[in-house]
Amino acid sequence: MSEAQEIQIGQQQDAEVRKEMGVYNDRALQEYVTTLGLKLAQVSERPNLPWHFTVLDVPAINAFALPGGYIYITRGILPFLDDEAQLAGVLGHEIGHVTARHSAQQYSRATGAQLGLILGSILVPQTRPFAQLGESGLGLLFLKYSRDDEEQADALGVKYASRAGWDPAGVPRMLTTLARIEEASDNKGVPNWLSTHPAPVDRVQKVQSVVQQAASGAARFTSDRDGYLRRMDGIVYGDNPEQGVVRGASFLHAGLRFAMEFPPGWDVNNGQTQVVAKEPGGNTLLLLQPVQQPIGRSIQEVALRSMDSAGFRAASGGRTTINGLDAFVGTYEGALQDLGRVTVRAAHIALDRDVLLVAGIAPQQTYDRVEPTFIKSINSFRPLTRAEAEAIRPNRIDLYTARAGDTWQSIAERAGRGVIKPSTLAIMNGHAVNDQPRPGERLKIVVSG
């Protein structure tokens, strides 16, 4: 792949990434990350690429690179980095994937069909509205690298960070934090930096000798923890109301101004393009997503057409209203890859200029048992007033100085129920989960909206 091709692919994919994942609306933070990234890129082997650095409005912990010098970091990973040297380590690592042409190689290896699938699932989700069950379409975009590539990128991250004046020990410290997140995670299978970057705990050891080399003979390095913490103060933690937040079993969307209730106790996952709730231990699902480019003059036509194009045959259905909103609710038969023959209870609901789909999906033989649950959730869909929408606030990072007697538990309890786990607080402040904060230690904490 030529450099011109690399840049062209990066440019095309960049437009998709920005549109699908969203750019975090904080100019000062974007400029900070860009300034830092450019310093690192300038000391790399490819300083003349048109480098771009973007903070995405995504709560997942992730960073990735596209060919041609496009580097992305999620707002979700930022609070888990504990100083500027660690941020430099992550950006340096991703720059390394570009300078070593790992990302270009991965794109070259992908066949035409694979690329089509990547583009298909991102560009035109309406062609396969149920295609993403169990795997995020965007997960496909995150290129998986080999272990050798990862270790090379770690070493390059160390090299660029130290050349540009940051403490190269930020790389193993950042990898240690990622290893702790992985260990504490009960969310396996969610596409994030961990699933595309194998076994950080091994990499900590591998990178240590590189760090020692980089550190020897150097004058002085900076980590700037205080400055970094100040940059983190106030950034959104977790879901953003503009894209919808999960609060217990409720889903509230301030941008589109609606709310609905999922069945209590179900595992609700607010993804980038859809919300999927799963019955614990079962293979019954409820999903919520916008109908992309709805076609039809009536809600009935929109519903039947979009279900038909997804391969679902209407068994029954009728026009109705749900909390004052025009809707078409139907029962459909079809098949899904992992579930086999399924029955779907689907409501297509008109909300201003959008059409929202709420679909309960169950294997045919168990559908009757869960139908009342599906109906209850569908009927909970309701518009929000402007005032209600404005009252939904995101959780945010705040700074706090630990006092004698503070524990992660006591700090987490003050934030409120379910806002953040004590172990997560420990990890985001660079501690092992069984450590406790030291009195006087400056900490990142989470406050509810």
Answer positive or negative: Cα dihedral of 120, 122, 126, 129: positive
Q: How far is the CB of 3 from Zn ion (least distance, A)?
A: 21
Q: How far is the CB of 85 from Zn ion (least distance, A)?
A: 18
Q: How far is the CB of 173 from Zn ion (least distance, A)?
A: 16
Q: How far is the CB of 99 from Zn ion (least distance, A)?
A: 12
Q: Which is nearer to Zn ion, 21 or 285 (CB)?
A: 21
Alpha-carbon distance of 295 to 48, in angstroms, equals 46
Instruction: Please list the alpha-helical segments (H only) found in 199-298.
Output: 200-215, 225-232
Q: Which is nearer to Zn ion, 125 or 139 (CB)?
A: 139
Partners of 340 in the β-ladder: 336
| Residues 6+ positions from 48 with CB-CB distance below 8 Å | none
Residue 225 backbone zone (phi > 0: left; psi -120 to 50: alpha; other: beta): alpha
Q: Which is nearer to Zn ion, 65 or 411 (CB)?
A: 65
Alpha-carbon distance of 23 to 256, in angstroms, equals 18
Q: Which is nearer to Zn ion, 200 or 238 (CB)?
A: 200
Angle between helices 84-99 and 27-42 (to 10 degrees): 60
Partners of 359 in the β-ladder: 287, 346
Query: 285: closest CA among 309, 264, 266, 306?
Result: 266
Q: How far is the CB of 35 from Zn ion (least distance, A)?
A: 22
Q: Which is nearer to Zn ion, 173 or 197 (CB)?
A: 197
Q: How far is the CB of 95 from Zn ion (least distance, A)?
A: 11
Q: How far is the CB of 102 from Zn ion (least distance, A)?
A: 8
Q: How far is the CB of 201 from Zn ion (least distance, A)?
A: 15
Q: Which is nearer to Zn ion, 204 or 336 (CB)?
A: 204
The 3-state DSSP class for residue 57 equals: coil
Alpha-carbon distance of 55 to 79, in angstroms, equals 13
Instruction: Give me the DSSP letters along 286-344.
Output: EEEEEPSS--SSSHHHHHHHHHHHTT-EEEEEEEEEETTEEEEEEEEEEEETTTEEEEE
Q: Kindly list the residues in this chain that would bind Zn ion in the complex (CB under 5 A).
A: 153, 197
Instruction: Please list the alpha-helical segments (H only) found in 216-274.
Output: 225-232
CA atoms within 13 A on the CB side of 137: 25
Q: Which is nearer to Zn ion, 102 or 278 (CB)?
A: 102
Q: Which is nearer to Zn ion, 198 or 422 (CB)?
A: 198
